[in-house]
Structure 1
Amino acid sequence: MDDQNKNLIFATALSFVVILVWFWLFPPEDTANTVDPAVATEQTIVDATPAVETAATTATDGEATVSEAPRVQIETDNLAGSISLLGGRIDDIYLSKYTLTLDEDSETVRLLRPVGENDAYYAAFGWAAAEGIAGDAVPGPDTLWSIEAGDKLTPSTPVTLVWENGAGQTFRQTYSVDENFMFTISQSVENASGAQIALRPYGLLRRVTEPDGLKNFFVLHEGLVRMSDGVLEQTKYKNIRKYDLSELDQTQAERIEVAEKGWIGYTDHYWMTTIIPAQDTPFRSVSKYFESRDLYQAEAVQPVHTISAGSSTSVDTRLFVGAKEWETIREYQNNDDVDGFIDSIDWGWFFFLTKPIFWLLHTLNAGIGNMGWSIVALTIILKALVLPLAYKSYVSMARMKELQPEMEKLKERVGDDRAALQQGMMKLYKDNKVNPASGCLPILIQIPIFFSLYKVIFVTIELRHAEWLGWIRDLSAPDPSSILNLFGLFNWATPEPGSIFFIFSLGILPILLGISMWLQQKLNPAPTDPAQKMIFAWMPWVFMFMLGSFASGLVLYWITNNTITFLQQYTIMRSHGHKPDVFGNILATFRRKPAEAKK
């Protein structure tokens, strides 16, 4: 077996192992959890002031009042919904520009839902009694507020709610919203009593059950996400459940004392809800779970405010509710002082590659206007960057071709003496300055780039529902065409990804991928060794089936990469006097063996 074939076998086997490991690490999504309507009240109603360690957490019967309470409408270009006057809860948010599917009649994405509905999920803000004031004298999640100013929340018209406790204190909450996804909640307290009081402001998120449609992919983080003084923490729902407060033992809560910069919230695949206290003040970042109600709670608890008689105090807290758009989130980080907010997007282990790759892809798309062609352009740029190393590799492979006659003479001279053959080969390589291992370098470089691009395509919302051409309307999804319906000629359904029958439903892009790999092999004659020959014959088609369920954008990248690699290798081999007989090698694949060769 010559060393060039050894290198190619090694590279092919390595790629095969990588794909197998990938499928093992990133299995198909699990069935999503749903909420039984019969127990919705038990799961969704958790009352009182849970933001302070001494506060009790109890269940109340508030489902009817939630549905009947007055509401303030929210209307922006990106958001729609309402705020409930019961508790001042932001619990009804639609993302106006995003739909669940590509169907014309698809529903708009709904991120927050009120108590009483499946997957209830809302934000609330308030004060917890610390000193000089009773616990029932501060507004809580079931306090019925009144509108003091404004009748609709828009970017130009804030809304103020007011509540008086009858003991001399007046509480206000003023809501404002920008053009994108950021709310600002200004909480204030006027103390007209004759005594000093102390209160602790808080903001919280409550989420009932794991979200519907949870992916449970290793490559994707869904769950708690928070920044604490420059340290990012990501905790999946299964790990949040370790902190169960069902027995009112709040020592089990996961707390982090943040000195001045941070935020806390829950992230989904493409959406996120995050509480952001003022970035120049300390706060306590808390994650909780209540097993009896299957309720997740994230809190930002700020320091105690002491309010003397006849004075007042206020605090501002921001709330992000929306899509994880890279450009929007970067704007909040760079211009609105939300520390490390860009890391709320799950860049993964290869963040040092995924971040610049996405930036380049985003920049290309801004100029080209089509994400598919931007992936093609990105592939060309990445191949150009590694061309010097690839050039050395292909030159080394061409030189090994030139040494083939001398290798054959060496084998005849030493016979079965394997040690002498090895020594002779090493001397031959050294004298001609050939590195037999260099043929593996392009594959080794391609693997982390492939993983990083997969992460970018799978995680970033900019690839979601991004069209390329014709039948490819979503580059984050598998190729929807199929040989079972003659690539869309007949309008019948085909097996979904994850089905055992999906291997019989390949789209156009996976087939082109297999062909591009097969043609790349034909730059060299098939190896004479039967085992090698069998591996070479099957690998393109094995990869074709294995990658058939991958995102179309990733398969497009691989096809482009294979095509450029073919052209590079062909050109370099020609420049060193070796003319690959691609057409002849293709014909040899189909040529029948002579009768004597079959014996």
Structure 2
Amino acid sequence: MENQRNVILAITLMALILFGWPYALEVFYPARPATVEDVANAPRPGLDPATPGASSGAVSGTVPDTASASKIIRTRKAVLADSARVTIDAPRVGGSINLTGARIDDVVLKDYREKLDKDSDLVHLFSPAGTADQYFAQFGWIGEGVVTPTSQTVWTPSGGRLTPSTPVTLRWANPAGQRFEIVYAIDANYLISVTQRFINSGATPAIVRPLGLINRTSANADPSTWTVRNGPLGVFDDVADFDVHYDDLDENPKKLVEYGGNIDWLGFTDHYWLSALIPAPGSTGQMAGNFRSLGGKLYQSELLFDSKVVAPGKMVETKAMLFAGAKETELLDDYVDAKDIKLLDRAVDWGWFIWFEKPIFKLLNWLFEQVGNFGVAIILLTIIIRGLMFPIAQRQFASMAQMRAVQPKMKALQERYKDDKQKLQTEMMELYRKEKVNPLAGCLPMFLQIPVFFALYKVLLLAIEMRHQPFVLWIKDLSAPDPLTPVNLFGLLPFDPPSMIAIGILPIILGVTMWLQFKLNPAPMDPVQQQVFSIMPWVLMFVMAPFAAGLQLYWAMSNVLTIAQQKWLYSRHPQLKELAAQEAAAKAAKAEKDKMPKEKGGA
């Protein structure tokens, strides 16, 4: 009886996990609104020169003036045509830099499209202020005793095109002749290096504090779930902080969350994309980082460097980096190693089981590189996982055979001690010891499958490498649910059924193979277990319908391999198959016996 309770408990835990996931997943992201609310800029106290390096309550002169521009949302094309720009032309990034404010407000990811359609627009990560998708980066200074550039300053470029081989320097001088320079350099991927210089050509000392910021609307932000964290994100003192959400900033009385100490990087993360401000390796001095709510669904991350007193005729230089691109796992790992950007790989929300999930991702990605088809790679990964677990499955079947063999003795004990539960438990434990039976051995593979399944679920959910990857025939995107469903006659009827009933071909295959798998197992003696096993395949078929096709493919393939494995193991444990046949015959005889009185009565 104890063993039966353990099995039911294991099944219940698995069902709870599976039933919880659909509520955590956001299959359909919120639609982007057509307008952005007005932005009311809060008062911004200046930097106190008496406390160099201290973080001011806000960043003066850095928040873009969108109060008027946001009243009427303009198209991206119209805003880009309105200002002089420097073109960005890197292998994987296109776009432009706005010379007004020196803003990087036009970033296009050349390797990714918005939708599966090959004619779909490329992903526009950054967009100018005043558009519905406002999202940009800006670098500047806070000054004391010096006129600093603002978001309306028009800069002079050294060239018209930013490429990996041609950095661009933007220059501006204030009325006192003091010069400011920003040098932008881009690599072959998504990293922009930024050098800020202040040359004090005036007659008196000046206090300047370099800074960088990322400004964005949350209107087009991916929502957070309990499995995937999106929104403000940073690494501070070698610890990734996932605790700040857009709502937290709105509800904060100061509309501000501040960080001191060692700022490794900070910015905003979406499901597949990341923007991050990063101090250059070796940066010294006191830094500060902020997340801020500006109102009207606008938010800002800010990186502030130490204040510097610059004597006449002297220059101060600050280096930083901006990441703006896709969260490709191996690329983030490369930046951690090559650029010494601490924990940049944590931008992918692997969670607590990163030690287990990343090896599975690396194996899956390697298989994909070898075969060129992500679906085939998932099948090969399934074979490898089942192969590694095969010895455990053998022990499970041996344990099942032993348990079935002692069932008559167990039933006898239950009858003898049905009124003395304590004595029954003692006698059953003694029986297990004599027969060398471990009642929990059969549950071990089930428990081991749960972390493997969850790890693969996280990999398939988070890995941008699987985004828009096809398999065969109708499965064009393994990161999306199976689109072919009999509910609308496989697309012949012109409507899209709700996700929970839009059961695709793969979930149906999953349900059927799980039913076959359970049919091969010896029927549980407990009627409750029999009912659980009889309905579980069809319940899971509905539960899995909204999940990624890649995950459905893994589970269905795992079921097929389990069926083949069970067939082979039955041949190695004939006593188990014999007992299963006897139970099936007894069950059929009982059903026939129950039916006979009804037939006689009817006659």
TM-score range, shorter chain: 0.7 to 0.9
- Structure 1 CA distance, aligned partners of 2:585 and 2:187? 65
Distance 1:338 1:453, change over 3 A: same
Q: How many residues align?
A: 577
Q: CA deviation at 1:496?
A: 4.2
- Structure 2 CA distance, aligned partners of 1:323 and 1:302? 26
Q: How does 1:517-536 map to 2 (within 5 A)?
A: 517-527=514-524, 530-536=527-533
Q: How does 1:200-599 map to 2 (within 5 A)?
A: 200-208=209-217, 210-212=218-220, 214-234=222-242, 235-243=244-252, 245=254, 253-259=256-262, 262-281=264-283, 282-407=285-410, 410=413, 421-487=424-490, 490=492, 492-497=494-499, 502-503=500-501, 505-527=502-524, 530-578=527-575, 580=577, 593-594=591-592, 596-597=594-595
**Bigger mean CA offset, 117-126 vs 570-579:** 570-579
Q: CA deviation at 1:258?
A: 3.2
- Structure 2 CA distance, aligned partners of 1:587 and 1:320? 67
Could you state the TM-score of these two structures normalised by the residue count of structure 2? 0.87
Query: Corresponding residue for 2:601?
Result: none
- Structure 2 CA distance, aligned partners of 1:71 and 1:444? 58
Q: CA-to-partner distance for each residue in 1:17-73, whole Å, 9 max, x for gaps?
A: 222233444466563462525x45x37999998984475468747749986321111
Query: Corresponding residue for 2:149?
Result: 139
- Equivalent position SS for 1:580: helix
Structure 1, unaligned stretches of length 5 or more? 246-251
- The 8 Å contact of residues 72 and 83 in structure 1, kept in 2 or not, is answered as yes
- Structure 1 CA distance, aligned partners of 2:278 and 2:539? 48
- Structure 1 CA distance, aligned partners of 2:316 and 2:23? 55
Q: How does 1:123-162 map to 2 (within 5 A)?
A: 123-130=137-144, 133-134=145-146, 137-147=147-157, 149-162=158-171
Q: CA deviation at 1:405?
A: 4.2
- Structure 1 CA distance, aligned partners of 2:44 and 2:367? 50
- Structure 2 CA distance, aligned partners of 1:508 and 1:297? 44
Structure 2, unaligned stretches of length 5 or more? 48-54, 599-603
- Structure 1 CA distance, aligned partners of 2:96 and 2:46? 23
Query: Corresponding residue for 2:51?
Result: none
- Structure 2 CA distance, aligned partners of 1:377 and 1:46? 59
Amino acid at match of 2:260: E
Amino acid at match of 1:107: D
Distance 1:10 1:439, change over 3 A: farther
- The 8 Å contact of residues 400 and 576 in structure 2, kept in 1 or not, is answered as no
- Equivalent position SS for 2:351: coil
Q: CA deviation at 1:385?
A: 3.1
Aligned pair 1:80/2:88, yes or no? no
- Structure 2 CA distance, aligned partners of 1:447 and 1:70? 56
- The 8 Å contact of residues 232 and 269 in structure 2, kept in 1 or not, is answered as yes
Q: CA RMSD in A?
A: 3.2
Q: CA deviation at 1:117?
A: 0.5
- The 8 Å contact of residues 244 and 291 in structure 1, kept in 2 or not, is answered as no
Q: CA deviation at 1:524?
A: 3.2
- Equivalent position SS for 1:299: strand
Query: Corresponding residue for 2:195?
Result: 186
- The 8 Å contact of residues 7 and 439 in structure 1, kept in 2 or not, is answered as no
Distance 1:205 1:433, change over 3 A: same
Percent sequence identity over aligned pairs: 36
- Structure 2 CA distance, aligned partners of 1:575 and 1:166? 90
Distance 1:408 1:99, change over 3 A: same
Amino acid at match of 1:214: D
- The 8 Å contact of residues 195 and 308 in structure 1, kept in 2 or not, is answered as yes
Query: Corresponding residue for 1:119?
Result: 133
Q: CA-to-partner distance for each residue in 1:235-261, whole Å, 9 max, x for gaps?
A: 22122324455xxxxxx63222233x6
Distance 1:191 1:59, change over 3 A: closer
- Equivalent position SS for 2:150: coil
Q: CA-to-partner distance for each residue in 1:87-107, whole Å, 9 max, x for gaps?
A: 100001111111111123312
Query: Corresponding residue for 2:17?
Result: 18
Q: CA deviation at 1:214?
A: 2.5
- Structure 2 CA distance, aligned partners of 1:154 and 1:17? 52
Distance 1:339 1:14, change over 3 A: closer
- Structure 1 CA distance, aligned partners of 2:150 and 2:430? 82
**Bigger mean CA offset, 58-67 vs 441-450:** 58-67
- The 8 Å contact of residues 155 and 179 in structure 1, kept in 2 or not, is answered as yes
Q: CA-to-partner distance for each residue in 1:374-396, whole Å, 9 max, x for gaps?
A: 22222222233333433322211
Distance 1:146 1:585, change over 3 A: farther
- Equivalent position SS for 2:437: coil
Distance 1:262 1:587, change over 3 A: farther
Q: CA-to-partner distance for each residue in 1:140-160, whole Å, 9 max, x for gaps?
A: 22211122x111111122222
